[in-house]
Amino acid sequence: MSKKIKVGVAGCGYWGPNLIRNFRSLSDCSLKMMCDLSTARLKHLKSLYPEVEAATDYKHMLNGINLDAVVIATNVKTHFPLAKAALLAGKHTFIEKPMAASVEHCEELVAIAKKNGLVLMTGHTFLYSPVVRKIKEIIDKGDIGEIRYISARRLNLGLFQKDINVAWDLAPHDLSIILSIMNEMPETVNCRGSAHITPGIEDVTTMCLGFSRQRSATIQSSWLDPRKVREMTIVGSKRMIVYDDLAPLEKIRVFDMRVERPPHYDTFGEFQYAYHYGDMYAPYIKQEEPLKTECQHFIDCIKYGATPVSCGTRGTELVSILEASSESLRKGGAPIHFGKSQDGHVPAAMTSGIPIKITTASLPARGTRTKRVSAASRPTIVLNGH
């Protein structure tokens, strides 16, 4: 039997316990430690998982118990120092979204991970959702035609954060999905918003992204809305997709609807737009917890030396958009122009859909892999259970 990957989780607030529950459930992972500054949080988690060691001292977690990997689910401003210390201590590192509070910090983490042959992954959870993978599959098959625009709304009352605005808190989810669908970085970003509750921290924002070929996306984020909304509409030249993440069953509906402009006309009287109203279908999607798939992916990448779908470079790109959105907010919504992907190419995960399996054949050449923990034979791994 191959060696289990020993993992510690830092941050046991709202989200950390979900990571703790999932890593603890994986058969090839051994959850060794939970770390938080709050003894009250640790006491609570210890009551749920008495076999897992609890500590307030992060240094002890890094140096005291011989972990293979560290998972960071603390407040965003602490991501960089904690992740840097973990990587320098030789630990494979998973950092919750957004990866860090600046591109400069992200780039430093990517460089340290690369130099030391360590897996660096960021928590773009929706990339591991079977619903988002289905959307990507439909789009990549050409079923909706050319994308015209994407509109996303992620609204609810709270949870207010003290160190980041609502765009940094909620928009990473929409951004990770939109970048994966668009297959490229935007050319421009602009953002408007307002701070109603905490001075200086916007609780309502609208971000607009401009892509090549006149494609665009808008992301509305709010901590001040009476209803919880998680919706995305993807409008294509042939069909349109409506994704409602809160719908219990039909999370995706594909509408065979479009509007076409006639190729030419002689007088205004002859001009008619061609509206097409067709069927709607809702594809069947097997329900799986995206976070569990994401946690398993991190463990698999460590075991087989593979680069994660949501690697440090993808995390850096996303933070570069958030940084641009903050700059735009400071400039009253002015557009910020910026360049292409950090590593200069479109990643495989973006071009060919999110890989659901790591196979022996799909592993990269030996020299380019990260450190492998297990030297055991490498069978096909099914990441999402089908």
Ligand X SMILES: NC(=O)c1ccc[n+]([C@@H]2O[C@H](COP(=O)([O-])OP(=O)(O)OC[C@H]3O[C@@H](n4cnc5c(N)ncnc54)[C@H](O)[C@@H]3O)[C@@H](O)[C@H]2O)c1
**Least distance CB 69 / ligand X (angstroms):** 16
Q: Say which residues have a Cβ less than 8 Å from residue 256's Cβ, sequence separation at least 6.
A: 238, 239, 276, 277, 278, 279, 280
Residues 105-124 that bind ligand X (CB under 6 A): 123
C-beta closer to ligand X: residue 10 or 349:
10
Cβ neighbours around 369 below 10 Å, total:
16
The residues that bridge with 257 in the sheet, in sequence order, are 277
CB of 294 to ligand X, least distance (A): 8
3-class SS at 298? Answer: helix
Write down the least CB distance from residue 189 to ligand X, Å: 20
**Counting contacts by CB under 6 A, is residue 76 touching ligand X?**
yes
- By CB under 6 A, which span of 71-79, 312-320, 346-354, 372-380 interacts with ligand X? 71-79
Of these, 22, 102, 122, 125, which contacts ligand X (CB under 6 A)? Answer: 125
Under rule CB under 6 A, residue 14 binds ligand X:
yes
CA distance 300 to 65: 21
Using rule CB under 6 A, residue 36 touches ligand X: yes
Q: Should residue 64 be labelled a site residue for ligand X when binding is judged by CB under 6 A?
A: no
Cα(62)–Cα(137) distance, integer angstroms: 40
Tokens of 371: 């450190």
100 contacts ligand X (rule: CB under 6 A)? no
H or E, element range at 80: helix 76-88
Closest separation between CB of residue 339 and ligand X, Å? 26
- Find the part of the chain contacting ligand X (CB under 6 A) among 30-38, 44-52, 206-214, 326-334: 30-38
Which residue among 5, 33, 35, 181 contacts ligand X (CB under 6 A)? 35
Kindly indicate which of the ranges 74-82, 192-200, 260-268, 303-311 contains the residues binding ligand X, using the contact rule CB under 6 A.
74-82
d(CA 375, CA 304): 9
Residue 205 interacts with ligand X (CB under 6 A): yes or no: no
Q: Which of 5, 20, 58, 120 binds ligand X (CB under 6 A)?
A: 58
CA distance 71 to 34: 10
Stretch in the footprint of ligand X (CB under 6 A) among 13-21, 222-230, 319-327, 340-348: 13-21
From 5-13, 231-239, 259-267, 310-318, span contacting ligand X (CB under 6 A): 5-13
Q: Is 41 in the site for ligand X (CB under 6 A)?
A: yes
3-state secondary structure of 131: helix
Q: Binding to ligand X by residue 75, rule CB under 6 A?
A: yes
Instruction: Kindly determine how many residues on this chain lie close enough to bind ligand X according to the rule CB under 6 A.
Output: 23
CA distance 339 to 290: 30
Using only the alpha carbons of the chain, give its radius of gyration: 22
**Cβ contacts of 357 within 8 Å, gap of 6 or more:** 380, 381, 382, 383
d(CA 356, CA 150): 24
**How are strands ordered across the β-sheet holding 120-123?**
53-55, 29-35, 5-10, 69-72, 92-96, 120-123
Q: State which residue has the least CB distance to ligand X.
A: 13
Asked if 89 is part of the footprint of ligand X (rule: CB under 6 A), the reply reads: no
Q: For residue 120, with 0-12 CB atoms within 10 Å meaning exposed, 13-18 middle and 19 or more buried, which class applies? A: buried
Determine the Cα–Cα distance for residues 226 and 367; give it in Å rounded to an integer.
Answer: 52
Residue span 289-328 as binding mask against ligand X, x where in contact by CB under 6 A, dash where not: ----------------------------------------
Binding status of residue 38 toward ligand X by CB under 6 A:
yes
Stretch that binds ligand X, among 70-78, 210-218, 236-244, 279-287 (CB under 6 A): 70-78
- CB 193, CB 202: distance < 8 Å: yes
Q: Considering the rule CB under 6 A, would residue 15 count as an interface residue with ligand X?
A: yes
Does 74 contact ligand X by CB under 6 A? yes
> What letters, b where the CB count within 10 A reaches 16 and e where it falls short, cover 234-255?
bbbeebbbbbbbeeeeebbebb
Binding site for ligand X (CB under 6 A): 10-16, 35-38, 41, 58, 73-76, 78, 82, 96-97, 123, 125
